[in-house]
């Protein structure tokens, strides 16, 4: 019986940076890494497991660098408009006060807790669309009352929102 040697599939090599990491160009802003159009150097695992599959970055070739340089002014204008709309949304959110209903005992302690998902659904009912990652809670809310919750829409745009945790209406 002869043994056959299995060939492992070969994938194209990603370009190494000067520090031994993988050089990628960001397509979108990535928190704690860079802005769209930046060439960054990351560890191979971060590139292969997160940035490339999620479509947040591409391989930094000379062609891509030239294209970004050519369109940098257009990208800056788009980002400026996006920031302006986020600032407007932050201004509207700061004027809002939302109610979140929760089951509570007579002393005002909640049987469960109120977290970011409940706040996001209450905002959605009022016509605002944000993600639960944008809600910055110190911890879950476990008592009835008024809370000030931080909302981080962008690295540069944040606001505060008044959240009333009220008891569920008895039927």
Share of the chain above pLDDT 90, in %: 12
Which token pair is 28? Answer: 């979108």
- Domain limit, last residue, from 48, 68, 85: 85
Q: How far apart are CA 41 and CA 56, in angstroms?
A: 14
The CATH number given to whatever domain includes residue 101 is: 3.10.430.100
Q: What Cα–Cα distance (Å) separates residue 119 from each residue in 15, 56, 92?
A: 43, 28, 16
Domain check: are 37 and 72 in the same one?
yes
- Domain limit, last residue, from 32, 57, 85: 85
- What are the helix (H) ranges across 37-115? 44-46, 62-94
pLDDT of residue 31: 83
For the segment 128-137, the average pLDDT, to the nearest whole number, is: 88
Judged against a pLDDT cut of 50, whether residue 108 lies above it is answered with: yes
Residues of the domain holding 79: 22-85
For the segment 16-40, the average pLDDT, to the nearest whole number, is: 85
Among 91, 93, 145, smallest CA distance to 122 is for 93
When mean pLDDT is compared across 9-13, 50-54, 92-96, 104-108, the lowest value belongs to 9-13
The CATH number given to whatever domain includes residue 70 is: 3.40.5.10
Model confidence pLDDT, tens digit, residues 50-96: 998 888 998 888 888 888 778 777 878 888 898 999 999 899 988 88
| Count of domains forming the chain | 2
pLDDT band at 171 (very low <50, low <70, confident <90, very high): very low
């Amino acid at each position: 019986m002869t043994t056959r040697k299995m060939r492992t599939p070969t994938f194209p090599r990603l370009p190494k940076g000067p520090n031994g990491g993988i050089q990628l160009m960001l397509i979108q802003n990535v928190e704690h890494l860079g802005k769209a159009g930046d060439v960054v150097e990351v560890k191979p695992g971060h590139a292969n497991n997160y940035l490339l599959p999620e479509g947040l970055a591409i391989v930094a070739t000379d062609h891509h660098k030239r294209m970004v340089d050519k369109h940098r002014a257009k990208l800056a204008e788009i980002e400026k408009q996006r920031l302006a709309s986020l600032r407007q949304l932050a201004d509207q959110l700061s004027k809002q006060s939302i109610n979140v209903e929760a089951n509570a005992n007579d002393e005002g302690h909640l049987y469960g807790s109120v977290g970011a998902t409940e706040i996001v659904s209450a905002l959605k009912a009022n016509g605002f669309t944000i993600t639960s990652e944008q809600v910055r809670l110190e911890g879950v809310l476990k008592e009835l009352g008024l809370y000030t919750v931080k909302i981080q829409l962008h690295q540069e745009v944040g606001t505060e929102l008044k959240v009333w945790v009220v008891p569920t209406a008895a039927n």
